[in-house]
Amino acid sequence: MSSEPRDFVRANTAVEAPPLVPEIRLHLAGEITPLWQATEALLEREQLPPPYWAFAWAGGQALARHVLDHPDLVRGKNVLDFGAGSGLLALAAARAGAAAAAAAEIDPVAATAIVLNAALNRLDVAVESGDVIGRFPVPWQVVLVGDMCYERPLAERLTQWLRRLAAAGVLVLLGDPGRAYLPKEGLEELARYGVPTPLDLEDRTMREGVVWRLSG
């Protein structure tokens, strides 16, 4: 990548707190179109994924809120934020008292954003830059997944792995606002949260983020 990821993140975002999680500040894009346009050249040249990391998606916000309101879920445990994007869930876990919080993110720009966001909040978050799907056994007692069921191949592959972890005793929590490929079975609803959403990101100004526990 010709430009420094750190400079790119800072130049194309502003420091804001997600509406549902005012305790945590993130480098976020105010509008989707300018960032997408700024990223197009990098996407084409470096084969990077779209800049999903620059937005606090509804499912992730709902799950982060739940973790902060129920710190016993993660306190003293090793926690993974899968498909971390901005690292919001790892940051929420760290703030709630996790023994260790890791963020799994294969996009190098997102990984840089996570490092910046951790420093911004004065929290320790380790970045897992490899593809962790399929890893077993794992060092985590809790796996948090926010808004990752939007694409069938990824959702199916991810769900198969998460069910294996859940069957082995790992607490697997999903935050989802009704994406198409959320698993249809083996879900226990824990909570619902109304999440304000901008119209250029979603098709409505409020989405309902549901927190689910996945069974094996």
Domain span at residue 178 reads 5-214
Which tens digits make up the pLDDT trace of 103-132? 999 999 999 999 999 999 999 999 999 999
Tally the domains of the chain.
1
Model pLDDT for residues 24-62, shown as the tens digit of each residue = 999 998 766 566 565 665 555 555 667 888 889 999 999
Of residues 204 and 128, the one with the higher pLDDT is 128
Distances (CA, A) of 169 to 137, 141, 166, 203: 11, 8, 5, 37
Q: Chain-wide mean pLDDT for the chain?
A: 90
CA dihedral (148, 149, 155, 158) positive or negative: positive
Predicted confidence band of residue 155 (pLDDT cuts 50, 70, 90): very high
Average pLDDT estimate for 169-187: 96
Q: What is the mean pLDDT of residues 170-189?
A: 96
Q: Identify the CATH number of the domain in which residue 195 sits.
A: 3.40.50.150
Cβ atoms of 195 and 207 within 8 Å: the answer is yes
| pLDDT tens track for 136-154 | 999 999 999 999 998 999 9
DSSP per-residue letters across 46-101:
H-PPP-GGGS--HHHHHHHHHHHH-GGGTBTSEEEEET-TTTHHHHHHHHTTBSEE
